[in-house]
């Protein structure tokens, strides 16, 4: 999972403070990305623990050294939009 702040995508014209991407690839290299929009409402212990290990500078990358259940940071509302990015013709 990686993050974009602010969100890379907009929903109904709205930007979000944080967008997380769960990136999946098959053996042929085809990608499926699940984007999760985050707001600043409330607190989340699992997210806070993961966030404490985030890089401090743009471009730095780190692996989390603790295991957590991704469901602990995903929102209860699982409404979604689906779109396909077509190759340039």
pLDDT digit string, tens, across residues 27-84: 999 889 999 998 888 788 888 887 787 778 878 877 777 777 888 888 888 888 888 7
Phi then psi dihedrals of residue 11, to 5 deg: -120, 120
> Locate tokens 């966030």: which residue?
51
Is this model's pTM higher than 0.85 or not?
no
Alpha carbon distance 49, 44 (integer Å):
9
Q: Which residue has the higher pLDDT, 87 or 13?
A: 13
User: What would the two tokens of residue 21 be?
Assistant: 């991407």
User: What would the two tokens of residue 27 be?
Assistant: 């053996």
Per-residue model confidence (pLDDT) at position 28: 93
Alpha carbon distance 42, 81 (integer Å):
24
Per-residue model confidence (pLDDT) at position 42: 79
* Number of Cβ within a 10 Å radius of residue 67: 5
């Amino acid at each position: 999972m990686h993050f974009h702040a602010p969100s890379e995508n907009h929903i109904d014209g709205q930007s979000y403070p944080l967008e997380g991407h769960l990136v999946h690839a098959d053996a042929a290299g085809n990608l499926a990305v699940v984007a999760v929009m985050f707001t600043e409402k409330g607190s989340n212990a699992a997210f806070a623990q993961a966030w404490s290990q985030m890089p401090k500078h743009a471009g730095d990358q780190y692996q989390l050294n603790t295991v957590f259940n991704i469901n602990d940071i995903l929102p209860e509302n699982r409404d979604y939009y689906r779109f396909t990015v077509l190759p340039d013709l």
